[in-house]
Amino acid sequence: MVDTLEYLAKGGRIGGAKKLLAELLEIKPILQVREGQVEAFEQQRTKKRALARLVEVVMESCQGGDDAHLCVIQVDAEKEAQALADELKSKVPVSGIPIYELPPAIVVHAGPKTLGAGFFVK
């Protein structure tokens, strides 16, 4: 989930009109990486709703257990990342949820305050 569309617009991923409209409506896109490609997953109005939806998506897709690995990823959002990890920890049965910083190649397009979750099951 990106906090602002400014960096996506600067990188040519979205147009200026879409950026302006999304900012006026407080739209926060939720993106996913699928087969090495970044795709739009869905959009939510307000950051609070986007975070709640992110938690729902993780709960639906990652059932937890001994073979599940779940992490929170962030850029310049340590407190928000810790709150997200704590909430996920209370809802998904995994042994621990580490918090990682996103690499610069993603930060350039996503910008600061980006939050996400990554998971897989063996």
Express each pLDDT in 31-84 by its tens digit.
Answer: 888 888 878 899 999 999 999 999 999 999 888 888 889 999 999 999 999 999
Close Cβ partners of 110 (under 8 Å, ≥ 6 residues apart): 2, 7, 8, 31, 75, 102
Cβ–Cβ under 8 Å, residues 118 and 73: yes
Tokens of 89: 């920890």
Cβ–Cβ under 8 Å, residues 1 and 115: yes
Residue 27: pLDDT band (50, 70, 90) is confident
Alpha carbon distances (Å) from 119 to 2, 26, 76, 96, 112: 18, 27, 21, 12, 22
Express each pLDDT in 106-118 by its tens digit.
Answer: 888 888 999 999 9
